């Protein structure tokens, strides 16, 4: 590892890429009224039984290229047929191979809510997400100060979007609780070191408020792992790598959910 952690490097790249897309916030505000109607991500995650967020993910900093995914729409449709409750679309390009065009195309082709999976650091990105039709956005506690987290969360909810607040240790979990986040994701992968540990689930899940929707993220590939996080109180799972590498993602989802 260099002096800079992986998360810092990703964030720097995200901010650089924003320069070419940046327009005045007032221009974005004028587009909000014509933005796609939201589909209610929180309701999908709060249903009875374990919900599944299926991710369209070409590559990652820890594993490199996972799948070419030349047709993200076809993959999203297979996820939907398999019983996924939401589709997560990576839009960070440098390290994850994501594309904003994927989000637009996928949302147009399916009926279930869509999560914009990116590193949201600015007000511009929140407005942009709403205009693109994101029903749910990701705020990573490790990437934001308390003031940034509060401001971006408040803006997101004011625009009608739901927010997945991601944590990977007890201190971050407390910050999410203090924020009164309604959906908290526990990532078993430390974004600063890329190490994965299921201990994150064991340490954090039992301490989250009962009324919070709890999402287990990263490293979930088997039915046994799903049952493990369910036993800890998970309401939903987010699965990417094992699905994009599966020869039959539709069947893989059914097996994960025991359907």
Please identify every residue annotated as catalytic.
55, 57, 117, 166, 187, 217-218
DSSP states of 208-241 as a string? S-TTSEEEEESS--SHHHHHHHHHHT-SEEEE-H
Question: What is the longest distance spanned by two Cα atoms in the chain?
Answer: 49
Looking at the chain, how many residues does it have? 259
Burial class (CB in 10 A: 0-12, 13-18, 19+), 147: exposed
> Are the beta carbons of 122 and 95 closer than 8 angstroms?
no
Residues whose CB falls within 8 Å of the CB of residue 126, separated by 6 or more in sequence, listed in order: 120, 137, 152, 155, 156, 159, 161
């Amino acid at each position: 590892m260099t002096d800079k952690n992986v998360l810092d490097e990703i964030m720097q790249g995200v901010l650089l890429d924003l320069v070419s897309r940046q327009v005045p916030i007032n221009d974005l505000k004028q587009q909000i009224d014509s933005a796609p109607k939201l589909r209610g991500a929180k309701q999908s995650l709060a249903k009875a039984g374990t919900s599944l967020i299926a991710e369209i993910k070409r590559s990652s900093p820890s594993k490199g290229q996972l799948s070419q995914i030349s047709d993200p729409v076809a993959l999203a449709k297979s996820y939907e047929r398999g019983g996924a409750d939401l589709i997560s679309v990576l839009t960070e390009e440098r390290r994850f191979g994501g594309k904003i065009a994927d989000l637009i195309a996928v949302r147009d082709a399916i009926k279930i809510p869509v999560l914009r999976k990116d590193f949201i650091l600015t007000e511009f990105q929140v407005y942009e997400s709403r205009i693109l039709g994101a029903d749910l956005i990701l705020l990573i506690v490790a990437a934001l100060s308390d003031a940034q987290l509060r401001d971006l969360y408040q803006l997101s909810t004011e625009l009608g979007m739901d927010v997945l607040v991601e944590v990977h240790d007890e201190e971050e979990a407390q910050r999410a609780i203090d924020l009164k986040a309604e959906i908290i994701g526990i990532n078993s992968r430390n974004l600063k070191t890329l190490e994965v540990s299921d201990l994150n689930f064991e340490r954090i899940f039992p301490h989250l408020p009962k009324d919070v929707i709890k999402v287990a993220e990263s490293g979930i590939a088997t039915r046994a792992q799903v049952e493990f996080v369910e036993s800890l109180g998970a309401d939903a799972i987010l699965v990417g790598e094992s699905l994009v590498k599966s020869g039959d993602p539709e069947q893989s989802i059914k097996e994960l959910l025991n359907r």
